[in-house]
Structure 1
Amino acid sequence: MGALQVLFNAVTVIFIAVTMFAAGLATPLSALRAVLTDVPLLLLALAANLVVVPLLGWGLAALFALPVAGFVGLVMVASSPGGPFGAKLSMVQKGDVVAGTAMQVLLAAVASLTFGPTASGILTAAKVGEGISLDVAALVRTVAILQLVPFAVGLVVRHYAPSAARSWHPAAGVVSNVTFLMVLTGMLLGSWRDVVALLGSRTLLAGLVLAVAAFAAGTLLATGPSPRRTTMGGIAAVRNVGPPLAAIGIAFGDEQAVLGALAAVLISGLAAALPIAAVLGRDRGDGTA
């Protein structure tokens, strides 16, 4: 079992680092600059993803009276914006793909610094369980290294060697997708009893409601035409699994109950966000913003 845990941790590290490297390879500096200089959009997106959605997660966890593992899983997911699948949702809904991708990687980079304090602050204020304490400094350091450094390297390659970035990006994307599936499978297999126990539970329902509420919040707290606003909604609805996984490894010793709750929340969130994006894409026909 120890060897399997080491393998799971190694695949998780590869997933986080390669995903952010691929994001850097795919992000032109001009796209990042456009997002950074659109101050109203930037401020609203930061408020939605770093303040509103974490508070929604806290509120829903309290409203549904979730058990400790479910409470922790939901709060950590809500506190971790910038999920790579958010950029894919912008394609599914025929939204503003360039702005969506740039905002996704920006949020992932910012959240590498804010996730630890946000999740720790909410769990401390909520007084969930006994002895739960996130080592914020260690978590920020770990997540920042795993996310910011690979993203910066990819961004530099994209800027100074665009042909290399274009040739490397497909392979990096495949590795990211495969390792994501491996991580999700590992979470499900390693804690399948906990996941099965959650079927029909309030934790799954809370994860689904959080995704829908985050989609609405991200859409409302955005500027521009409808495709751009719903793209920001999709970005807000899909959270980044990397920081929560790092937190579980650091603070909870890879506790299976928390891993199971995290997997359940992520799956229910995707199950809610994907159909919304698909309906939007169908209504937009072949026109892409």
Structure 2
Amino acid sequence: MDTLHLLFNAVTVIFIAATMLAAGLGATLPALLAVLANLPLLLLVLLANLVVIPLLGWGAAALFGLPTAAFIALLLVASSPGGPFGAKLAMIQRGDVVAGAAMQALLAAIGSITFGPTANLMLETANVGGGVSLDVATLMLTVAILQLAPFAVGLVVRHFAPSTALSWHPVAGAVSNVTFLVVLVGMLLGSWRDVVALIGSLSLLAGFAFAVAAFALGTLLATGPWVRRSTMGGVAAVRNVGPALAAVGIAFGNEPAILGALAAVLLSGLAGSLLIAARLSRHRTAERRRQDL
């Protein structure tokens, strides 16, 4: 069992680092600066992802009366913006891919710092977790090392050696995708009984509803044309699992019940986000066909 835990932790570290390296390799300074220069969009997106959506997660957990493990999992997910799949959703929905990728990378970098205090405040205020309090300093340091450092390396390589970055980016993305699946399967297999137990607790429905509501709020709290606003909705709906996994490992010793709940919330939320993105893609494809006629 110890060997499996070590293997799970190792794969998780690789997943987080590869994801942020891919984000850095795929980002450019002009794109990031363009996002920063659009102050109304930036402020609204930060408000949505750092304040409104964490509160939405707390509200959804309370509304659906989730058991403790699922309550904790949803709070951790809601507190962690900048999920790498947000950029992928921009592609799926045929949205503003450049703005989506830049904002996702920026939120992931900022979220690595804000996640600890946000999650800790909500866990303590909601009085869940059996009195467990996140070691914010340790968590911030761990997440910063695992996220900010690879992102910075990728960004530097992209800026000074773009051809190298373009050749590395597909590899880093593939490693991120594969390790994400391994981590997700590991969470499910290691705690399948806990996942099954959640079926009657409305946890899956809560994760689905949270993602759909986050998509809507992310779209509402954005500026610009509809394509860009819906892209920001996709970025808001997909949260960053890396910090949440780090928190479960540091504060809860990779407790199977919380890992299972985390996997359930992530899967149901991802399903909701994909359904919306696919619907937008079909609508935009049909609209372009009508314009071409």
The question of whether the paired residues in 1 share the 8 Å contact of 2:89 and 2:234 is answered with yes
Q: Which residue in 2 is equivalent to 1:241?
A: 241
Q: Which residue in 2 is equivalent to 1:29?
A: 29
* Mapped partners of 1:135, 1:255: distance in 2: 16
Q: Which residue in 2 is equivalent to 1:254?
A: 254
The answer on 1:202 being equivalent to 2:202 is yes
* Mapped partners of 2:61, 2:176: distance in 1: 30
1:140-155 to 2 correspondences below 5 Å: 140-155=140-155
* Mapped partners of 2:85, 2:183: distance in 1: 14
Secondary structure at the counterpart of residue 81 of structure 1: coil
* Mapped partners of 1:66, 1:177: distance in 2: 29
Secondary structure at the counterpart of residue 95 of structure 1: coil
Secondary structure at the counterpart of residue 285 of structure 1: helix
Structure 2, unaligned stretches of length 5 or more?
289-293
- TM-score, normalised via structure 1 length: 0.98
> How big is the shift at 1:129?
4.1
1:57-72 to 2 correspondences below 5 Å: 57-72=57-72
Q: Which residue in 2 is equivalent to 1:118?
A: 118
* RMSD after superposition: 1.1
Deviations 1:134-169 (A, max 9, x none): 001100110011000000000000000001001111
* Mapped partners of 2:246, 2:235: distance in 1: 21
Secondary structure at the counterpart of residue 183 of structure 2: helix
Matched AA of 1:30:
P
Secondary structure at the counterpart of residue 105 of structure 1: helix
* Mapped partners of 2:266, 2:129: distance in 1: 22
Matched AA of 2:107:
L
> How big is the shift at 1:70?
0.7
- TM-score, normalised via structure 2 length: 0.97
Aligned length: 288
* Mapped partners of 1:125, 1:172: distance in 2: 38
Q: Which residue in 2 is equivalent to 1:268?
A: 268
1:1-289 to 2 correspondences below 5 Å: 1-285=1-285
Matched AA of 1:240:
N
> How big is the shift at 1:278?
0.4
> How big is the shift at 1:35?
0.4
* Mapped partners of 1:254, 1:48: distance in 2: 29
> How big is the shift at 1:198?
1.2
Give aligned-pair identity as a percent.
73
Deviations 1:86-140 (A, max 9, x none): 1000001000000000000100000000000000000101111422210011001
* Mapped partners of 2:131, 2:210: distance in 1: 26
* Mapped partners of 2:30, 2:281: distance in 1: 26
> How big is the shift at 1:201?
2.6
- Which runs of 4 or more aligned residues in structure 1 lie more than 2 Å from their structure 2 counterparts after TM superposition? none
